[in-house]
Amino acid sequence: MRIKMAELFAGVGGFREAVEHSSLKNHFEVTWSNQWEPSESAKHGDLQNANRVYIAKFGKHGHYTDDIHLITDSEKKLPKDIADIQMLVGGFPCQDYSVAKPKNAAKGIRGPKGVLWWSIERILRDVRPNYVLLENVDRLINSPSANRGRDFAVILKGLDSLGYIVEWRIVNAADYGFAQKRRRIFILAYQKDSPAAKKIGASKLNVDEAIDSKGLMAQGLPCRPDSEKSCFDLSEYESDNELGAKYKAPAGKSPFFTAGFVINGKAWTKVVKAILPKKTTSLGQILLSADKDTVPANSASFRVSPDVLPKWAYAKGRKNEPRRKAAAIAAFIKSELGSAGLAKTDIAKTAKQLPIDLKMDRAFDFTFNDKTVRVSLAREEVNYRIAVALNLKGATFDRPNAITRAQIEQAQASKETWSKVEASAVAIATDRAFSLLGLKGKEFLGQVATKIRPQVVKAVDDLTKKDKAIEFSVYGKTLKIDRDTLAANSFAYGYKEGGLPFPDRVDGPGRTIITSEGGASVSRFKHVICEACAGGKGQHKTGADCVKAGKLRRLYPEELERMNGFSAEHSKICRELKISDGKRAFFMGNALVVGVVRQVLDTLVRP
Write a three-state SS string for 221-232.
Answer: CCEEECCCCEEE
My answer on whether 486 and 417 are in the same domain is yes
Determine the average pLDDT of the residues in 460-472: 93
Cβ atoms of 341 and 475 within 8 Å: the answer is yes
Q: Are residues 533 and 399 in the same domain?
A: no
- Per-residue DSSP letter, 5: E
Q: For 103-128, how does the pLDDT look when each residue is reduced to its tens digit (9 = 90+)?
A: 555 555 555 455 678 888 889 999 99
**Which of the listed residues 497, 530, 546 is the one where a domain comes to its end?**
497
The torsion angle over the Cα atoms of residues 512, 518, 520 and 521, rounded to 10 degrees, is -70
Reply yes or no on whether the pLDDT at 557 is more than 90: yes
More confident residue, 18 or 327: 18
Same domain, 365 and 430: yes
Q: What percent of the chain has pLDDT over 90?
A: 73
CB contact set of 604 (below 8 Å; sequence gap of 6+) = 3, 27, 131, 190, 196, 216
Mean pLDDT of 583-591: 97
pLDDT at 314: 93
pLDDT at 70: 85
Q: Which residues contact 465 (CB under 8 A, 6 or more apart)?
A: none
Alpha helices in 481-567 (DSSP H): 483-487, 531-534, 543-549, 557-563
User: How far apart, in whole angstroms, are the C-alpha atoms of residue 227 and residue 215?
Assistant: 17
Instruction: Output the pLDDT for position 568.
Output: 96
Task: Specify if 121 maps to a domain.
Answer: no
Residues 332 and 287 in one domain: no
Residues of the chain with pLDDT > 70, as a percent, come to: 93
Residue range 267-281, pLDDT digits in tens: 999 999 999 999 999
Residue at a domain's end among 497, 525, 547: 497
Count of domains observed in the chain: 2
Average pLDDT, the chain: 91
Residues 406, 484: one domain?
Answer: yes
Q: Is the pLDDT of residue 433 over 70?
A: yes
Instruction: Judge whether 175 lies within some domain.
Output: no
Centroid of chain to Cα 60:
32
pLDDT at res. 235: 77
Which has the minimum average pLDDT: 296-300, 304-308, 542-546, 562-566? 542-546
Residue 344's pLDDT is: 83
pLDDT value at position 432?
97
Structural domain harbouring 508? 283-310+499-590
pLDDT for 232 equals: 86
Among residues 447, 464, 497, the one where a domain terminates is 497
What CATH code is carried by the domain that includes residue 517?
A: 3.90.120.10
Sign, CA torsion 503/504/506/507: positive
Residue 27 has pLDDT above 60, yes or no: yes
**Average of per-residue pLDDT across 382-397:** 94
Whether the model clears a pTM of 0.85, i.e. scores above it, the answer is yes
Asked whether residue 493 falls in the same domain as residue 521, the answer is no
442 and 362 co-located in one domain: yes
**pLDDT confidence tier of residue 258, bands split at 50, 70 and 90:** very high
Q: Are strands 259-263 and 230-233 parallel, antiparallel or unpaired?
A: unpaired
229 occurs within a structural domain = no
As annotated, the active-site residues are 94
Across the range 379-407, mean pLDDT stands at 95
Residue 32: pLDDT band by 50, 70, 90 thresholds?
very high
Are 379 and 398 within one domain?
yes
Is there a domain that residue 508 lies in? yes
Are residues 418 and 290 located together in one domain of the fold? Answer: no
Q: What is the pLDDT of residue 290?
A: 79
Same domain, 354 and 487: yes
Structural domain contains residue 35: no
Q: Cα 545 vs. chain centroid, distance in angstroms?
A: 29
Q: Which residue has better confidence, 49 or 325?
A: 49
CA distance 319 to 301: 28
Q: Is 573 among the domain residues?
A: yes
pLDDT tens profile 348-361: 888 999 999 999 99
Same domain, 508 and 392: no
Going by pLDDT thresholds of 50, 70 and 90, the confidence category of residue 297 is: very high
Q: Is the pLDDT of residue 101 over 50?
A: no
- Does residue 525 lie within any of the structural domains? yes
pLDDT (0 to 100) of residue 452: 97
**pLDDT value at residue 376:** 97
Mean pLDDT within 501-506: 93
Contact in structure between 304 and 553 (CB atoms under 8 Å): yes
Q: Which of 234, 239, 406, 398 is nearest to 327 (CA)?
A: 398
Indicate if the pLDDT at residue 521 is higher than 80: yes
Same domain, 503 and 493: no
| 142 within domain boundaries | no
Residue 548 is predicted with a pLDDT of 86
- Region 289-294 average pLDDT: 84
